[in-house]
Amino acid sequence: METAEKKKIVLSAIQPTGTPTLGNYLGALKNWKDMSEGEYNCLYAVADLHSLTVRPEPADLRRRTLEMYAILLALGIDPEKNIVFIQSHVPQHAQLAWLLNCCTQFGEAARMTQFKDKSEKHPENVNVGLFTYPILMAADILLYQTDFVPIGADQKQHLELARDIAERFNTVYGNTFKIPEPFIGKVGASVMSLQDPVHKMSKSDPNPRAFISMLDDDNVIVKKIKSAVTDSEAVVKYAEGKDGINNLMGIYSCCTGKNFEEIEQEFEGKGYGDFKSAVAEAVVEELRPFKDEFNRLMNDKAYLTECAKAGAEKASHFAARTLSKAMKKTGLFQL
Ligand code: TYM
């Protein structure tokens, strides 16, 4: 990180709220891995503070945080060449979030569609953390003078808010934060539910057939894809109104690198059965090396803890620099 200071900086994070889905993988994690291979300086975090907004069982949160950390390494993200850390281990995130809270209008936060959706779905726990959640996310990003944020389409509005907050802070207090850009893949940015393909694939879907978990067994993946909702046309073609097939084509495209035209040609004159078998096989192959590595890493908790400690130390070094700059600019008395 020291020598490569001129490289562009990439940051992203994922909540440890359950095993990530194929949507998380194709929308975000696959890009994280690709971007981590030398062109950029990458920081990737397990956003454990964010997941407190849904009040997980403490023992589950602890277990899932380490599992999510292992998942990131199992993807092939090298923790020596990149900074892979757990958000709550770097206290500057919560500290900067307070400064940014004071730079965000109530109305701006109230417009976030994810806040509206989540508070409608869980009226029993509309806590203030859920409301200020995107401001903590802005802090995650702005602390590292981030250039690019690889995310799925559902996080775009939050990223726009982070940009607005950064611009406002820079205008009021003088240039402090880099204005980050989203990095959203062309295909895979919105992987949809297999059972209801107008809604995004989500790990909290009550119907397990609607999503593929990254750790599902091969035969489970095959079954879920074979039972995916399609249409009665039996033509593999990307078109309006064919949400189920469009979704499977997107998944197949991400896993094989083929574009939609090539896929249409490959399955010309063939039925959905053949197509679904090919999609299932491609997904199984894509996830297989990851699953083996995940199982290996979960047997080495000492190594995972060591990596998380080193990651937090490296991240804190950069985070402290930006936080101190921001505190100075706001007029907080410095010792
Ligand atoms: P989270 O944990 O919900 O999801 C992690 C990433 O997966 C993407 N994603 C999808 N992409 C395509 N299709 C889907 N069906 C799908 N479902 C999820 C998300 O867009 C995301 O990129 N607030 C964030 C975590 C966060 C963060 C950050 C992200 C905290 N701080 C700083 C970027 C930068 C979240 O809840 O993601």
Q: For a substitution probing ligand 1, which of 85, 114, 155 has the most ligand atoms within 8 Å of its CB?
A: 155
Instruction: Calculate how far, in angstroms, residue 27's C-alpha sits from the geometric centre of ligand 1.
Output: 8
Atom of ligand 1 lying closest to residue 188 CA = 12
**Alpha-carbon dihedral 215, 218, 221, 227, rounded to 10 degrees:** -160
Q: Of ligand 1's atoms, which has the minimum distance to the CA of residue 191? A: 13
Band the pLDDT of 187: cuts 50, 70, 90: confident
Confidence check: pLDDT of 189 > 90: no
Say whether pLDDT at 1 is over 70. Answer: no
What's the average model confidence in pLDDT over 106-132? 95
Report, as an integer, the average pLDDT of 29-36. 96
Pocket-forming residues, ligand 1, beta carbon under 6 Å: 11-15, 23-24, 27-28, 47, 50, 137, 140-141, 149, 151-152, 154-155, 189-191, 200-201
Q: Say yes or no to pLDDT of 39 above 50.
A: yes
53 C-alpha to ligand 1 centroid (Å): 15
Residue-wise pLDDT for 135-179, tens only, equals 999 999 999 999 999 999 999 999 999 999 999 999 999 999 999
* Percent share of the chain, pLDDT over 70: 99
Q: What is the DSSP string of 52-96?
A: GGG---HHHHHHHHHHHHHHHHHTT--TTTSEEEEGGGSTHHHHH
Statement: residue 5 has pLDDT above 60: no
Distance from C-alpha of 160 to C-alpha of 158, rounded to nearest angstrom: 5
Report whether 46 contacts 68 (CB < 8 A).
yes
**Of all helices (H) and strands (E), which one includes residue 150?**
strand 148-150
pTM of the model: 0.95
CA of residue 88 to ligand 1 center, whole Å:
17
